Structure 1
Amino acid sequence: MSLHVPRQRFVCVLFVLAFLAGGSAWSQGTGATAPVRILVGAPAGGSTDTMARAVAHAMGQQLGRTVVVDNRPGAGGNLAAEAVARAAPDGQTLLMSFTSHAINASLYPKLAFDPVKDFTPLTMVSTSPSVLVAHPSLPANNIAELVALAKAKPGQLNFAIGALGSSLHLAGEAFKLKAGVYIVNIPYRGTAPAVQDVLAGQVELMFAAVGNVQQHIRAGKLKALGVTSPHRLSTLPDVPAIADTLPGFESSAWFGLFGPAKLSPEVLRTWSDAARQAVQNPDVRHRIEAEGATAVGNSPQEFARFVVTDIARWRDVVKFSGAKPE
């Protein structure tokens, strides 16, 4: 016996099925199939941008999604952070932030967001200790000699500062606070001109990212006095830790991935797992290490605790520095 379906009813069934399929696709148009954006509060080409792009590519491959990097530089990363804080908690908008996320909590009298309550930490991507470098003419070859020289000549030595309020600026402030010395800050608009003036001997000292000065150290154009990590770095094995002379001193930049507050457990798990797997990807680790950083990939809970601790750690340094937003 054959089954006969009237033409009008058959067309109606097809229409309903098409509508349901279309409705499902439309509902995913702002969800599973729409590009995910990782906002970066720094210009393209810098360390934060480089790491964000490496992680975004690996996450996209894992999840079969399009993940794009959206650069929103300005206000020490606050413009990008504010946009993510206001975004819907659907996993479509994420933030690749850096140490300024913690510093800005004390540096800016008023923020348009809460750096803890308005975000969901996903994972710390990497940490990047810096190195204290000096022009070869400086009559100090280690931290003890530098502290003695600075105490003998208060206000006569200078730190080149690539960006006021940055982790490198505040590494210098933490050093002065710990050593009890007075060294004058010379601000620049960017790391590159600051490094050039130290190379030229216009300024004696600078805290710099390892990746920015490593070649100059190897060429003998700068001398490295100490690294800001608790122990020596494999990339600079002959350079002692500043903490060897000033116990307890530590100042490392960090880079981490956040979502807006109130992500659902499922969305949090999806993106945190993807980010942590991305950090372990050999290509991503290579890109991270090329920036002079160390891959981390910790849990959301560990990262959340770190952010709270880091905000408190920088509070006294910011107060001591007297730094104000530019």
Structure 2
Amino acid sequence: MQRRHFLAASALPLLAGRVLAADSALRILVGAPPGGGTDLVARAAAQELSGRLHRTITVENRPGAAGNIAAAQVAKDPDALLLCYTSHVINPSLFASLPFDPIKDFTPLSLVARSPLLLVARPDFPASTFPELQALAKKRSVSIGIAGIGSANHLASEMLRKQGGMELLSVSYKGAVPALTDAMGGQIDLVLSNVASAQTFVAARKLKVLAVSTAQRVAAYPDAAPIADVLPGFDYSSWYGLLGAAGMKPQDVEAIGAATALAVRSEAMRRHLQSEGLEPVGSTPAEFARFLQQEVERWRKVVALTGTKVA
């Protein structure tokens, strides 16, 4: 590392301390229940950021409405941050109206991590690869569990059905674990799940991996080929990022964004995220802002193509 870059990086925690040390405690709101992937990322980030920002940071769970309850709270609270996930950019295309604008009412701070999706099946399912599944599902209906209408895994499942020309029967669940449990029990055939939720069951051989949702193979599952090998352009994953309310002071944006990026790159947090099947990112605020704009448009097209609606 060049000396000027090293000095700039080493000064970031000090800058963060000067700007924020005198402020009140900061809260990270999570639009999901305790114990899930979003909650896990939020608590890991809070622990690292508390030390780097020299500030008390707590995590509060506000589940419900696909993350909209927590987002609406943060949009009007300057002392709160939002650990958002993929639904934040999907919801504008699903809901007729929202009490906030997902872009204009928030300040992007950092894209924290991504999670590929695993296409898993019950152990005795007659297909073990995606080409085998596609051939089977063109002959008869195959059931696939989804973790909530309009979720990233639901929309990716719908694109799987549409692009693959398969008969997939969607079965809705309140979360990934209930869907995976039913797959293990033989009540359904498949689940397109994030790695964090599925990896324990895969390791115990209670589920088998047929394919991965990303364009590249996943290091932890080198034998699982990408769905994109058969369906060109198929590339879906979930992600987690940190947002503040609109109108944050530039020095706070710089301090929190820089501290988050450094936290994600730390050995402790990187290993923690990877152990949960997540890919650490740690982007700049500007990079995250561009990413959010692209994601809103990308998922808008997916919602339109699949005709997905919420009740």
TM-score, scaled relative to structure 1: 0.85
- Given candidates 200, 210, 223, the residue that maps to 1:225 is 210
- Given candidates 236, 261, 270, the residue that maps to 1:251 is 236
State whether structure 2 residue 77 is matched by structure 1 residue 87. yes
- Given candidates 103, 106, 123, the residue that maps to 1:116 is 103
Q: 1-side partners of 2:205 and 2:163: how far apart? A: 28
Alignment-derived partner of residue 92 in structure 2? 105
Q: 1-side partners of 2:282 and 2:21: how far apart? A: 25
Three-state SS of the structure 1 residue aligned to 2:244 is strand
The verdict on how the C-alpha distance between 1:296 and 1:139 changes in structure 2, with shifts beyond 3 A counting, is: same
Q: 2-side partners of 1:130 and 1:223: how far apart? A: 13
Alignment-derived partner of residue 207 in structure 1? 192
Three-state SS of the structure 2 residue aligned to 1:287 is helix
**Which residue identity is paired with 1:94?**
L
- TM-superposed CA distance for 1:229, in Å, is 1.4
Q: 2-side partners of 1:285 and 1:145: how far apart? A: 35
**Which residue identity is paired with 1:100?**
S
Q: Mapping of 1:271-310 within 5 angstroms?
A: 271-310=256-295
Say which one has the larger Rg: 1
Alignment-derived partner of residue 16 in structure 1? none
Q: 2-side partners of 1:74 and 1:190: how far apart? A: 12
Three-state SS of the structure 1 residue aligned to 2:255 is helix
Alignment-derived partner of residue 318 in structure 1? 303
Alignment-derived partner of residue 181 in structure 1? 166
Alignment-derived partner of residue 56 in structure 1? 46
Deviations 1:3-25 (A, max 9, x none): xxxxxxxxxxxxxxxxxxxxxxx
State whether structure 2 residue 128 is matched by structure 1 residue 138. no
Alignment-derived partner of residue 9 in structure 2? none
State whether structure 2 residue 32 is matched by structure 1 residue 42. yes
Three-state SS of the structure 2 residue aligned to 1:111 is coil
Alignment-derived partner of residue 114 in structure 2? 127
Note if contact 1:173-1:320 (Cα within 8 Å) is conserved in structure 2.
Answer: no
Alignment-derived partner of residue 70 in structure 1? 60
Three-state SS of the structure 2 residue aligned to 1:51 is helix
- TM-superposed CA distance for 1:220, in Å, is 3.0
**Which residue identity is paired with 1:67?**
I
**Mean CA deviation greater in 255-264 or 283-292:** 283-292
Gaps of 5+ in 2: 1-19
* % same residue: 43
Alignment-derived partner of residue 16 in structure 2? none
RMSD between aligned residues: 1.8
Q: 1-side partners of 2:254 and 2:202: how far apart? A: 42
**Mean CA deviation greater in 129-138 or 254-263:** 129-138
Q: 1-side partners of 2:201 and 2:64: how far apart? A: 29
Three-state SS of the structure 1 residue aligned to 2:296 is helix
TM-score, scaled relative to structure 2: 0.89
Note if contact 1:51-1:287 (Cα within 8 Å) is conserved in structure 2.
Answer: no
Q: 2-side partners of 1:316 and 1:183: how far apart? A: 21
Deviations 1:160-209 (A, max 9, x none): 11222211111201211221223111112222221111111111111012
Q: 2-side partners of 1:129 and 1:63: how far apart? A: 30
Alignment-derived partner of residue 10 in structure 1? none
The verdict on how the C-alpha distance between 1:96 and 1:175 changes in structure 2, with shifts beyond 3 A counting, is: same
**Which residue identity is paired with 1:157?**
V
- TM-superposed CA distance for 1:33, in Å, is 3.7
Note if contact 2:37-2:196 (Cα within 8 Å) is conserved in structure 1.
Answer: no
- Given candidates 136, 150, 165, the residue that maps to 1:165 is 150
Three-state SS of the structure 2 residue aligned to 1:54 is helix
State whether structure 2 residue 229 is matched by structure 1 residue 239. no
Note if contact 1:130-1:251 (Cα within 8 Å) is conserved in structure 2.
Answer: yes
- TM-superposed CA distance for 1:31, in Å, is 8.2
Q: 1-side partners of 2:181 and 2:61: how far apart? A: 26
Gaps of 5+ in 1: 1-29
Three-state SS of the structure 1 residue aligned to 2:247 is coil
- TM-superposed CA distance for 1:299, in Å, is 1.2
Note if contact 2:106-2:244 (Cα within 8 Å) is conserved in structure 1.
Answer: yes
Q: 2-side partners of 1:36 and 1:149: how far apart? A: 52
Three-state SS of the structure 2 residue aligned to 1:256 is strand
Three-state SS of the structure 1 residue aligned to 2:123 is coil
**Mean CA deviation greater in 137-146 or 74-83:** 137-146
